[in-house]
């Protein structure tokens, strides 16, 4: 049945991307555009006392310098509906609250002029003592008041965890830490701002959410949201960092208003570390209790993470522990430490990535304590229903994932004792972990419109953050319409199109995808109706049910010779618009079903015990993601997540200098991410199943699932190779020697 949904068709935007025809936020040609560069603070806390711009002003091509002293004053924005919004720093006062905070904007004719002028601005500060480490800032402990999502509360309990632990025959308790991590999409945060008169604003923004950007900018600049248009036809990665709207977007608009010209502003790579979010550092304590037979009796998971001094973001690391295993007694807590850093934010599988690292390492440690196979231990505690609420899973094929993954990896050949597999100087280890990420969906709309040439145009406001949205939407529409994908054109990334949510939380396919499918399905019926009610059509007089649309042709079901092409229909209706619109919202399915994507990951490492060098040599992942819309882009999403899991396990960390209070490796040379040589053959398999409850198209979301579990699979493999347990990420050689 499904002809166009599922196959590994090439990205429909691939050619535009590799030929450079795809334009990113500061690449759109706008007449008379000027270039802006941010000046950011070099201290972590204090005040700006003076900014001497006299040298900078002499740079040829200089147009304007905005500072806290001269920037236009904005009306304070309301404190209403604060979710997913970050407190911004818009040059409204002289406070410095973190290193890397925007404290000025230089606008000039060229990027080179602006860059040079920015280096010539002399800043004087009145510094104040700062603290950026988790332990030392612990005096500023803070209980989060809002957890971001109602299903990720700061505190969660069931049963009696103290008694469960007391009654356990085997107990473990360990502390796991994960560092600050910086999103490093290839396209930095970037905005082009162009005013049309004093009240109408056009933004080309590198955003994961054009509608969120529009409302935030309108709110802060006192504009009518209808007078702000945000366009994001292409996005060079986001990973959550481009979900919220950050200060530079508003500053670019302010600067453009000052110089009365379009302004392009892109952050430099070092500026990507600080003012645009990061993954919080976490310190997670997990206690597990079990009976000798491997039955879990209790689980406690306490998370300490950073937030900034002026805003709140909770890395919900404990939520996975609340739902993944059938443990009767559980206590989850999250506490935040107010620290002199930029507000942390969503990073691919926020909460779930660091949380499953700690949980899945602890599960491995308990399996060792029980002398049980780690996979068998997980199966022993398999949750048949949601442990958090009395409701079934919408679809859970995790057992299949374990079985398929173990088979493809050859898990049954694993020696139970660590440090037994050797090859010369190298020790070989095998580890595994569970992947899990919640399935979300938000209201979304789409328009499907017949074009004069018989093709169909689909419009939906959503974004393609690099995941393949253009392609899967084209496939969904083609399937619903009975058209070859080449005869469907899909456009996105525009606030003039029907409203859709932020491309975050792995919800784009579920949300915008369902809307696109619905609009295309409605258009199909409308096209058939237009034919059967038209005396000029060979299908005239038939009922809607008598006619089908296949391969661009409307045909009578009982007489396939009788019919006409969409081109013929479109030609006759040249002067009328035939279109259909969808507006879909989730129902009560989140109440009735526990909806998650699942997976099982297996890793092999080789550790050179003399050098402490770790290489991941094999990875296998088997995933339950509901329906796979495109086997190729889906596989890319999963392997991308697994590569990031290797990065989390072995490479990534933003290092802060405590004395300076700022990141010292704020560049791609010293902030390590895996290169091809670090990435082994990655084997990805999907359990083929459609989720019957989650949403109309049966998907569960894939973007964030792959990174969950992956770091633990690698860490557990390192333990199995060496007998050494490292509980702090990244596992660098100094921690192994
Ligand atoms: Mo994702 S971190 O919700 O873009």
Measured from the CA of 208, which atom of ligand 1 is nearest? 4
> What is the C-alpha separation between 273 and 66, in angstroms, rounded?
22
pLDDT in tens, 486-531: 999 999 999 999 999 999 999 999 999 999 999 999 999 999 999 9
Distance between the two ends of the chain, CA-based, in angstroms?
Answer: 57
Tokens of 353: 């990535």
pLDDT in tens, 492-501: 999 999 999 9
Burial of 711 (0-12, 13-18, 19+ CB in 10 A): buried
Which of 131, 312, 652, 704 does the annotation list as catalytic?
704
Q: Are 326 and 384 in contact (CB under 8 A)?
A: yes
Q: Is the pLDDT of residue 631 over 60?
A: yes
Rounded to the nearest angstrom, the distance between the alpha carbon of 238 and the centre of ligand 1 is: 8
Among 2-6, 324-328, 634-638, which stretch is predicted with the lowest mean pLDDT? 2-6
CB atoms near residue 79 (< 10 Å): 7
pLDDT band at 147 (very low <50, low <70, confident <90, very high): low
Supply the residue whose CA is at minimum distance from atom 4 of ligand 1.
240
Asked if residue 350 has its Cβ within 6 Å of ligand 1, the reply is yes
Which among 629, 648, 652 is positioned nearest to 708, based on CA atoms? 648
Q: Are 546 and 504 in contact (CB under 8 A)?
A: no
Element (H, E) at 591: helix 589-592
Spatial neighbors of 464 by CB under 8 A, at least 6 apart, are 13, 234, 235, 470, 492, 493, 503
> Which stretches within 279-397 are classed as H helix?
319-323, 352-370, 374-380
Rounded to the nearest angstrom, the distance between the alpha carbon of 397 and the centre of ligand 1 is: 24
pLDDT in tens, 24-34: 999 999 999 99
Global pTM exceeds 0.95: yes
Give CA separation, 461 vs 214, 422, 468, 513, in Å: 12, 54, 15, 11
Helix (H, G, I), strand (E, B) or coil at 539: coil
Spatial neighbors of 300 by CB under 8 A, at least 6 apart, are 161, 165, 285, 286, 287, 330, 331, 332
Over residues 609-619, the mean pLDDT reads 95
Spatial neighbors of 128 by CB under 8 A, at least 6 apart, are 45, 46, 47
Predicted confidence at residue 80, as pLDDT, reads: 45
Spatial neighbors of 623 by CB under 8 A, at least 6 apart, are 401, 435, 597, 598, 599, 638, 684, 685, 686, 687, 702, 705, 706
Question: Residue 474 — φ and ψ, nearest 5°?
Answer: -60, -40
Query: Residue holding tokens 């145009």?
Result: 457
Rounded to the nearest angstrom, the distance between the alpha carbon of 193 and the centre of ligand 1 is: 25
Which of 704, 706, 708 is the best mutation target for the ligand 1 pocket, counting ligand atoms within 8 Å of the beta carbon and taking the most? 704
pLDDT in tens, 566-605: 999 999 998 889 999 999 999 999 999 999 999 999 999 9
Element (H, E) at 710: helix 710-722
pLDDT band at 146 (very low <50, low <70, confident <90, very high): low
State yes or no: is 670 an active-site residue.
no
Asked if residue 240 has its Cβ within 6 Å of ligand 1, the reply is yes
Asked if residue 466 has its Cβ within 6 Å of ligand 1, the reply is no
> What is the C-alpha separation between 421 and 401, in angstroms, rounded?
25
Tell me the angle at which helices 514-532 and 469-481 cross, rounded to the nearest 10 degrees.
30
Q: Are 288 and 298 in contact (CB under 8 A)?
A: yes
Rounded to the nearest angstrom, the distance between the alpha carbon of 522 and the centre of ligand 1 is: 31
Q: Are 345 and 240 in contact (CB under 8 A)?
A: yes
Predicted confidence at residue 486, as pLDDT, reads: 96
Asked if residue 505 has its Cβ within 6 Å of ligand 1, the reply is yes
Q: Is the pLDDT of residue 149 over 90?
A: no
Over residues 204-233, the mean pLDDT reads 97
Report the chain's mean pLDDT, rounded to a whole number. 95
pLDDT in tens, 258-271: 999 999 999 999 99
Measured from the CA of 704, which atom of ligand 1 is nearest? 1
Give CA separation, 681 vs 71, 406, 676, 678, in Å: 53, 16, 10, 10
Query: Sign of torsion, CA 521 524 528 529?
Result: positive
Asked if residue 520 has its Cβ within 6 Å of ligand 1, the reply is no
Measured from the CA of 503, which atom of ligand 1 is nearest? 4
Predicted confidence at residue 142, as pLDDT, reads: 82
> What is the C-alpha separation between 383 and 404, in angstroms, rounded?
19
Over residues 183-194, the mean pLDDT reads 97
Rounded to the nearest angstrom, the distance between the alpha carbon of 439 and the centre of ligand 1 is: 12
């Amino acid at each position: 049945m499904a002809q166009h949904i599922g196959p590994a068709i090439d990205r429909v935007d691939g050619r535009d991307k590799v030929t450079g025809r795809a334009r990113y936020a500061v690449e759109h040609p706008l007449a008379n555009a000027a270039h802006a560069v941010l000046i950011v603070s070099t201290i972590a806390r204090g005040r700006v006392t003076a900014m001497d711009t006299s040298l900078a002003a002499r740079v040829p091509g200089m147009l304007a310098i905005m500072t806290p002293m001269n920037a236009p004053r904005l009306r304070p924005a309301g404190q209403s509906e604060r979710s997913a919004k970050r407190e911004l720093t818009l040059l409204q006062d002289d406070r410095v609250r973190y290193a890397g905070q925007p404290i000025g904007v230089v606008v000039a004719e060229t990027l080179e002029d602006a860059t040079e002028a920015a280096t010539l601005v002399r800043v004087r500060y009145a510094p104040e003592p700062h603290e950026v480490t988790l332990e030392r800032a612990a005096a500023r402990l803070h209980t989060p008041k809002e957890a971001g999502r109602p299903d990720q509360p700061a505190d969660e309990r069931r049963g009696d965890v103290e008694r469960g632990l007391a009654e356990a025959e085997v107990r473990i308790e360990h502390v796991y830490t994960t560092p600050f991590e910086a999103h490093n999409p290839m396209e930095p945060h970037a905005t082009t701002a162009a005013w049309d008169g004093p009240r109408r604003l056009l933004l080309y923004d590198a955003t994961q959410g054009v509608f969120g950007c529009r409302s935030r900018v309108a709110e802060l600049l006192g504009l009518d949201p209808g007078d702000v248009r945000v366009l994001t036809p292409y996005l060079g990665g986001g990973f959550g960092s481009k979900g919220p709207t950050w200060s530079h977007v508003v500053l670019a608009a302010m600067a453009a208003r000052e110089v009365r010209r379009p302004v392009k502003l892109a952050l430099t790579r070092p500026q990507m570390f600080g003012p645009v979010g990061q993954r919080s550092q976490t310190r997670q304590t997990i206690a597990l209790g079990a009976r000798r037979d491997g039955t879990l009796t209790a689980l406690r998971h306490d998370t300490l993470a950073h937030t900034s001094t002026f805003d709140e973001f909770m890395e919900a690391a404990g939520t996975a522990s609340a739902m993944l295993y059938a443990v009767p007694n559980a206590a989850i807590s999250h506490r935040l430490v107010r620290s002199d850093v930029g507000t942390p934010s969503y990073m691919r599988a926020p909460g779930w990535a660091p949380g499953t690292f700690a949980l899945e390492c602890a599960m491995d440690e308990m399996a060792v304590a029980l002398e049980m196979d780690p996979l068998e231990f997980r199966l022993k505690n398999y949750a048949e229903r949601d442990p958090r609420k009395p409701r079934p899973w919408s679809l859970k094929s995790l057992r299949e994932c374990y079985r398929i993954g173990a088979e493809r990896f050859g898990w049954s050949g694993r020696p139970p004792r660590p440090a037994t597999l050797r090859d010369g100087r190298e020790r070989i280890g095998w580890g595994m972990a569970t992947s899990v990420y919640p399935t979300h969906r938000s209201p979304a709309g789409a328009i499907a419109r017949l074009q004069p040439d018989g093709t169909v145009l689909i419009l939906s406001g959503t974004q393609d953050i690099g995941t393949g949205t253009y392609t899967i939407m084209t496939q969904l529409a083609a399937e619903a319409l009975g058209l070859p994908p080449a005869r469907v054109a899909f456009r996105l990334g525009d606030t003039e199109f029907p409203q859709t949510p932020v491309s975050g939380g792995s919800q784009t396919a579920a949300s915008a995808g369902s809307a696109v499918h619905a609009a295309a399905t409605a258009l199909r019926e409308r096209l058939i109706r237009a034919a059967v009610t038209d005396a000029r059509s060979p299908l005239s007089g038939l009922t809607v049910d008598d006619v089908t649309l296949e391969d661009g042709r409307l045909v009578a079901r009982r007489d396939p010779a009788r019919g006409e092409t969409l081109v013929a229909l479109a030609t006759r209706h040249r002067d009328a618009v035939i279109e259909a619109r969808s507006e879909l919202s989730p129902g009560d399915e989140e109440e009735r079903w526990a909806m998650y994507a699942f997976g099982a990951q297996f890793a092999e490492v080789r550790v050179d015990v003399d050098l402490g060098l770790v290489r991941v040599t094999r990875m296998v992942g088997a995933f339950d993601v509901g329906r796979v819309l495109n086997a190729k882009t889906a596989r890319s999403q999963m392997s991308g997540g697994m590569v990031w899991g290797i990065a989390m396990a072995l490479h990534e960390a933003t290092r802060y200098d405590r004395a300076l209070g700022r990141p010292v490796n704020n560049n791609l040379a010293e902030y390590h991410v895996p290169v091809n040589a670090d990435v082994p053959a990655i084997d990805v398999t999907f359990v083929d199943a459609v989720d019957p409850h989650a949403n109309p198209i049966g998907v569960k979301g894939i973007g964030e699932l792959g990174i969950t579990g992956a770091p633990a699979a690698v860490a557990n493999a390192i333990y199995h190779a060496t007998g050494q347990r490292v509980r702090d990420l990244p596992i660098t050689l100094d921690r192994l020697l």
